Structure 1
Amino acid sequence: MFYRLAGVYHTTYAGERKLWPVPADRWQALGVLALAVLAPLLVGDLYLSSYLLPWLVWTAAALSLTLLMGVAGQLHFGFAAVMAIGAYTAIHLTRAGVPFEFALLGAGLMAAVIGSLFGAAALRVKGLYLVMATLAMQYLVDWTIINVPAISGGAQATLQAPEVSFLGAPMTNGTVQYYGALLWAVILTVFIMNIKRTAFGRALVAVRDKDFAAAVIGVNVFKYKLLAFFTSSFLGGVSGAVLAFCYYEAVTPEQFSFDVSIQFVAMVLVGGLGSVIGAYLGAAFVLLLPIVLTNLVAALADSGVIAMSQNLQSHIPLMAYGGLIIAFLLFEPLGLAKIYDNVRNYFLVWPFQHTRN
C-alpha cells in the first residue's frame, strides 16, 4: 500500500518537522497542484470561470479567516466588510494610476489598519461580545460605503474594475484571472500550513487554547491578538481585491453584505477550524454544493423521475443543503477536514488496524 508509514518512524527533529511527513501526502499535494495548473486545458471556459475561479477566490478568503478563527481562536462575523475595504481600495488605487501589484498591497494594508481598529475590541472582550464588535464593523463599513459617494459612487452604483495587468499579463483574460486567483490561493495555503510551525503561530495557538495560561508562560496576549486581526485582515483585503479584479470585474455594496460574512464563517466551521484542506472543502460545500443540488433536482424534474412544482423545485436544494449542515453539526462537528483525516488515517495502517492501539 503506497499510503502507509509501514513502520518507518522519524528519528530526527528535521524529519518530524517536515511539512508532509508521509511521502504520499506530498505526492498527493503535487498531483492536485498539477491538475490545478492544467485546468484551463482540461475544462471549458464556462466551468473555469463559473466554478473553479470563484472556488479558489472564496477558498483564499476562507483561509484568511481560518488564521483568525481557527489558529488564533478569535471570532469574526464581519469579514465581508474587510474584503470590501480591500476591493474598493484596490479599484480606487488602480484608477489613480497605481500599478496593480502595489494596489494589492495597498488594499491589504488599508483593510489591516481598519480591521485592527475593530479587532482591538478583542483586547478587552471575547466570545459573544467580540461577535458584537465585529458585527458593528460589518454594519459601519456597509453604511459608509453606501452613503459616501466618493467611495462607492452611491447606494446603487457599480464601480467597474479598470483594465490592469499583473506581472505583464492582462487581467481581462479569463485564463490569466484564473492563474492569478490560483497563485494567491497557493501562497495563502503555504503560508497557513507553515505558520503553525513558527513562534508567531505557536503563540496564536496558545492564546486560542487558554489566553490566561499563555500570559503565564510569557506570551503577550494583547499583542498577538492584535497581530492576528492585522494579519488576517491584510490577507482578507488582498482576497477582496483579487475577487474584484479576477471574478466580479466590478464591485457593488451588495457583494459584501452580512450574508456573505455568514457564508465565510460557515466555510470555516463546516470545513474544519484551523484546517487548510478544510478551507478548500468548506468553500466547495458552501459555494458549489447548492449549484450541484439545484442542477440535480432540475435534471430529475425535467426527466420526469420526480413530479414537482417550480416552487418546490427551487426550495428542495435549500432544504437538502440545510439538512446536510445540521448533519455535519450532529455527526462530525469537527468538519469535513476531520472526515478526510479519518479516511487518511484508515489507509495509513490498512489492513493492520490493530496497530493503532
Structure 2
Amino acid sequence: MFYRLAGVHHTSYRSDARLWRVPADRYALALVLALGVAAPLLVSPLYLGSYLLPWLVWSAATLSLTLLMGLAGQLHFGFAAVMAIGAYTSIHLTRAGLPFELALIGAGLVSAVVGCVFGAAALRVKGLYLVMATLAMQYLVDWVIINVPAISGGAQATLQTPRVSLLFLPLDGPWARYWAALAWAVVAALFLLNVKRTAFGRALIAIREKDFAAAVIGVDPFRTKLVAFFTSSFMGGVSGAVLAFCYYRAVTPEQFTFNVSIQLVAMVLVGGLGSVIGAFLGAGFVLLAPIVLTNLVIALSSAGWLSVSTNLLSHIPMMAYGALIVAFLLLEPLGMAKIYDNIRNTFLVWPFRHARR
C-alpha cells in the first residue's frame, strides 16, 4: 500500500528533519496545492468567492492566532481588533499612493506595534487576567475606529478599497483575489511549520508548558512573549488587509467586532491548538457548519417539518459556535487535527493495530 512506512529509512539528519518525511505525504501535499491553484477552473465563481476565498483568509488568520495561543500558550480574545488595524492601515496606505506590497508590510507593522503594547500585559499577568487585557484592546480599538472619523469616516461609514496590484497582478477579478489569498495562506502555513523547528519555536513551547521552568533553562520569558505577540499581530494585520482587499473590498467597523474574535478562538480550539492543518480544518468547520445548519433548518421549515421563527434562525450560527467548542472540548480536546492524525496513523501501519492514539 502506498501509504505505509515500510521502506522509509531515515539514514541522514537531512531526511529525518524533513517536514514531510513520508513520500505519500509529499504527494498528497502536491495534489492539494495543485487543486488549490486550479480551483478557479474547477468550481463556479459563486463558490470560489463565497466559500473557498474566505476559508483561505480565515485559515491564515487562524494560523496567526495559533502561533500565540497554540505554541506560546498566551490567550487572546481581541484578535479581531488586530485584523481591523491591519485592514484600515492598508487602505489608508494604498490611498496615500503606497504600493500594495508595502501597504501589507505597513499594516502588519502597525498591528504588531499596537499588539505588543497590549501584549506587554502578558509579561506580568496570565490566564483570565490576560484575557481581560486583550478584551480591553478589543473594545478600545472598536471605540477608536468608530469615534475617530480620520480612521473610519464615522460610525456608519464604509471605506472602499482602492484598486491595487500584487506582484504586477491586478486584484480586480475573483481569480486574482483568490490566488492572492491562497498565496498568503501558503506563506503563513509554511512559516508556522518551520517556526516549530527553530530555537524560537522551542522557546515558545517551553513558555507554554511552564514559564518559570523555561527561565531556569535559559529562555527569556520577557523577550519570547513579546516576540510572540509581535509576530502573531504582524501576521494578523496582514490577514486583515488581505481580508479587506480580497474578500470584503470595503471595510466597516461591524466587520471586526468581539464576535469575530470569539469565532477565531473557536477556529483555533476546534481545529487543534498548535496544529497547522488544524487551523485549516477548524476555519472550514466553523465557517461552513453554521451555513449548512441554517440551510438545513430552513429546508425543514419550508417542508413543514419544523416551525422556526426568524429570530431563532438569526441566532443559529452563534449557537453552533458554542456547541462546537463544547463538543470538541468534551469529545476530542485536541481538536480536528487529532482526529486527522489518528486516521493517518491508522493508514500508516494498516492492517496492523499499532497506531498511536
User: How much has 1:105 moved relative to structure 2?
Assistant: 0.5
Give 1:159's aligned residue: 159
Give 2:25's aligned residue: 25
- CA–CA distance in 2 between the matches of 1:112 and 1:48? 30
1:278 and 2:301 aligned: no
Give 1:113's aligned residue: 113
- CA–CA distance in 1 between the matches of 2:71 and 2:108? 20
- CA–CA distance in 1 between the matches of 2:251 and 2:82? 14
Farther off after superposition, 253-262 or 291-300: 291-300
- CA–CA distance in 2 between the matches of 1:152 and 1:104? 18
Give 1:238's aligned residue: 238
Change in 2 beyond 3 A, CA 1:317/1:269: closer
Give 1:76's aligned residue: 76
Q: Deviations over 1:243-294 (max 9, x none)?
A: 0000000111110001100110110011000000100011011111111222
Give 1:101's aligned residue: 101
- CA–CA distance in 2 between the matches of 1:292 and 1:192? 30
Change in 2 beyond 3 A, CA 1:320/1:264: closer
User: How much has 1:130 moved relative to structure 2?
Assistant: 0.8
Change in 2 beyond 3 A, CA 1:125/1:18: same
- Partners of 1:298 and 1:313 within 8 A in 2: no
Change in 2 beyond 3 A, CA 1:309/1:235: closer
- CA–CA distance in 1 between the matches of 2:105 and 2:344? 38
Change in 2 beyond 3 A, CA 1:356/1:209: closer
1:181 and 2:219 aligned: no
TM-score (norm 1): 0.95
Q: Deviations over 1:76-122 (max 9, x none)?
A: 11000000000000000011111111000000000001100111111
- CA–CA distance in 1 between the matches of 2:102 and 2:34? 29
- Partners of 2:272 and 2:338 within 8 A in 1: yes
User: How much has 1:167 moved relative to structure 2?
Assistant: 1.4
- Partners of 1:297 and 1:317 within 8 A in 2: no
Change in 2 beyond 3 A, CA 1:311/1:159: closer
Flag structure 2 segments of 5+ consecutive residues without an equivalent: none
Flag structure 1 segments of 5+ consecutive residues without an equivalent: none
Give 1:57's aligned residue: 57
- CA–CA distance in 1 between the matches of 2:69 and 2:7? 36
User: How much has 1:299 moved relative to structure 2?
Assistant: 3.1
User: How much has 1:15 moved relative to structure 2?
Assistant: 2.1
Task: Give the RMSD, CA atoms, in angstroms.
Answer: 1.8
Amino acid corresponding to residue 258 of structure 2 in structure 1: F
- CA–CA distance in 2 between the matches of 1:191 and 1:145? 30
Q: Deviations over 1:22-78 (max 9, x none)?
A: 111111111111111010000000000000000000001000000011111111110
Give 2:67's aligned residue: 67
1:86 and 2:93 aligned: no
Q: Deviations over 1:315-337 (max 9, x none)?
A: 66765664443222211011010
User: How much has 1:13 moved relative to structure 2?
Assistant: 2.1
User: How much has 1:340 moved relative to structure 2?
Assistant: 0.5
How many residues align? The count is 356
- CA–CA distance in 2 between the matches of 1:195 and 1:13? 18
Q: Deviations over 1:135-160 (max 9, x none)?
A: 11111111111111100111111111
Amino acid corresponding to residue 298 of structure 2 in structure 1: A
- What does 1:162-311 align with in structure 2 at a 5 Å threshold? 162-303=162-303, 306-311=305-310
- CA–CA distance in 1 between the matches of 2:114 and 2:206? 25
Farther off after superposition, 214-223 or 1-10: 1-10
Change in 2 beyond 3 A, CA 1:300/1:168: same
Instruction: Classify the secondary structure of the residue corresponding to 2:38.
Output: helix
- Partners of 1:294 and 1:317 within 8 A in 2: yes
Amino acid corresponding to residue 207 of structure 2 in structure 1: V
Give 1:329's aligned residue: 329
Give 1:40's aligned residue: 40
- CA–CA distance in 2 between the matches of 1:156 and 1:255? 12
- Partners of 2:346 and 2:355 within 8 A in 1: no
TM-score (norm 2): 0.95
User: How much has 1:14 moved relative to structure 2?
Assistant: 1.9
Change in 2 beyond 3 A, CA 1:356/1:65: closer
Change in 2 beyond 3 A, CA 1:307/1:205: closer
Amino acid corresponding to residue 125 of structure 2 in structure 1: V
Give 1:123's aligned residue: 123
- CA–CA distance in 1 between the matches of 2:209 and 2:323? 31
Instruction: Classify the secondary structure of the residue corresponding to 1:20.
Output: coil
